[in-house]
């Protein structure tokens, strides 16, 4: 089961990587202001559909939620981020966006291993794997 959750985390991170250079998402996270976006990323030969939301402040934590669907699996991760955690993530995303601005290479989401090497993914992954910050649920969809 742990291997399954690691794979789902990687797919969630793949969709986050695509947003790494999206200034709207970064600014919304920085301010913990309402944000919503949906899209599809192809990784490992699968179309992964994602619905990302920043729900706003809950006490002193910013609530980020992402729902991911792929291969009959419906997953949801919810993170409650402190101001310090937000600042760290935003710093990494802004630095990565600046590098990408001058890069001729596209972001590689073709495989889980390619995604896991992305600096934005590494920053988010630290919190995704911390159950005191992020929680995940997954359900098999009926066919």
pLDDT digits (tens, 9 = 90+) for 3-59: 444 555 555 555 555 554 578 899 999 999 999 988 777 666 777 788 889 999 999
Tokens read off for 54:
């920043």
Per-residue pLDDT of 59-98, as tens digits, reads: 999 999 988 887 777 888 899 999 999 999 999 989 888 8
Is residue 70 within 8 Å of residue 83, measured between CB atoms? no
Can you give the residue range of the structural domain that contains 62?
Answer: 2-140
pLDDT band, residue 136 (cuts 50/70/90): confident
d(CA 117, CA 2): 20
**What pLDDT is recorded for position 128?**
87
Helices (DSSP H) in the chain: which residue ranges?
2-19, 23-31, 83-101, 112-116, 119-128
- Provide the domain count of the chain: 1
Q: What mean pLDDT comes out for the span 126-141?
A: 84
Per-residue pLDDT of 94-119, as tens digits, reads: 988 888 788 776 665 555 666 667 78
Is residue 118 within 8 Å of residue 107, measured between CB atoms? yes
């Amino acid at each position: 089961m742990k291997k399954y959750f690691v794979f789902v985390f990687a797919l969630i991170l793949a969709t986050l990587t695509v947003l790494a250079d999206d200034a709207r998402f970064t600014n919304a996270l920085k301010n913990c202001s309402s944000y919503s976006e949906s899209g599809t990323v192809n990784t490992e030969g699968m179309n992964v559909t994602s619905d990302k939301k920043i729900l706003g402040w809950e006490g002193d934590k910013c609530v980020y939620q992402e729902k991911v669907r792929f291969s009959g699996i419906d997953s949801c991760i919810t993170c409650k981020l402190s101001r310090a955690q937000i600042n760290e993530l935003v710093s990494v995303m802004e630095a990565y966006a600046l590098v990408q601005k001058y890069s001729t290479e596209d972001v590689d989401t073709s495989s889980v291993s390619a995604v896991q090497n992305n600096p934005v993914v590494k920053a988010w992954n630290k919190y995704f794997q911390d159950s005191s910050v992020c929680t995940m649920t997954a359900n098999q969809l009926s066919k």
